Amino acid sequence: MKKMIQTVVFVLVSAVSIFPSAQDEKMEMSLRTCLISALENNLDIAVAAFDPEIQDVAVQRAGKYFIPS
């Protein structure tokens, strides 16, 4: 039983040491790169890009109710 526990501990320690930690990787970024990355990954900005088109459709729909045909 003791031998089996030692084997399991050895395998776990070996597995942890083989795979590098994600925290070890450092990525240097300039301010410009940070801003571009933030703008590309910001969902609020992506949604806001469609806002003018959404408002155009809303105006067209509203016009159908108030403008006589």
Domain count, the chain: 1
Give the model's pLDDT for residue 23.
59
Q: How far apart are CA 49 and CA 32, in angstroms?
A: 21
- Please list the pLDDT of the chain residue by residue as tens digits (69 residues): 777 788 877 777 666 666 666 556 788 899 999 999 998 899 888 888 888 888 888 888 888 888 776
Query: Is 22 within a domain?
Result: no
Query: Is 47 within a domain?
Result: yes
DSSP string for residues in the chain: -HHHHHHHHHHHHHHHHHSPPGGG------HHHHHHHHHHH-HHHHHHTTHHHHHHHHHHHHHHHHS--
Q: How far apart are CA 56 and CA 67, in angstroms?
A: 16
Query: Is 1 within a domain?
Result: no
Give the model's pLDDT for residue 33.
94
Structure tokens at 19: 């795979």
Give the model's pLDDT for residue 31.
95
Give the model's pLDDT for residue 35.
92
